[in-house]
Structures are given as C-alpha cells and as structure tokens.
A = this chain, B = another copy of it.
Amino acid sequence: MPPKPTRSNDLQSLTDIDKLVHEPARLMILAYLYVVESADFIFLIRQTDLTWGNLSAHISKLEAAGYVEVTKEFVGKKPHTMLSLTAEGRAAFRTYRQNMKRVLDDLPD
C-alpha cells in the first residue's frame, strides 16, 4: 500500500511521497494506464521511449507492489503482454497526484 501522509504543512508532505509512483519512468507508465485503462507492452515502449529492459524492470516493480496487473497471452504465435492498473495502483496514483498538485500549487508566482 502507498505510504500514509501524516504531515501538517504542504511541503512536508513530500517526506511521505510514494517513491514508487514518483520515479519519472513509472509516473509515465501509471499516467498512461490511468487514462487508457489497459495497454500492451509495445504501446508503452512507443509512448515512453524507454528501453525494453527498462520498461520490463519498471513493470515488474509495479506488479510486485500490486499497482499493475500483468496478463500474458499469445496472439497468433507471438507472446503479448497486457497491462492494467489495479484499484490499489489507481488509488496510489490519485493520492500522489493530489499531494503533488497541492505542493506545486500552493506557491507564489
């Protein structure tokens, strides 16, 4: 589960930020999954500009955290990997987004 914020002011909430979501590569992946609901590996490769190894590793990490569900199937004779957000992943992304927006919005200029 995502870390629980226990801080009073906005900036200190960064202390409790969910690093799993915060990492730019994974933030990209999660944001895509957040809007499209389900995507395959190839789609994410194209959208994110990550390498195969890199994307694979990040997916594994998100899967281990229970943030994404990975479904492997065969399309014809080729393997095909489908990704989708779990309820937990969706919640974690929402929380991250809220916190981050609050931090960035509550500043002058």
Contact = CB atoms under 8 A, between A and B. Distances in A.
Contacts of A11: 28, 31-32, 47-48
User: How many protomers of this protein does the assembly include?
Assistant: 2
Interface residues of A, number: 28
A41 interface: no
B12 A47 contact: yes
A15 B109 CA distance: 25
Contact of A24 (B15, B25, B27): B15
Interface stretch (A57-65, A70-78, A95-103): A95-103
Contacts of A100: 100, 104
Interface string A76-109: 0000000000000000001001001101110111
Across the A-B interface, give the 4 residue pairs with the lowest CB-CB distance, nearest first.
Answer: A14-B24, A14-B28, A17-B24, A11-B28
Interface of A: 11-12, 14-15, 17, 19, 22, 24-25, 27-28, 31-32, 34-35, 47-49, 94, 97, 100-101, 103-105, 107-109
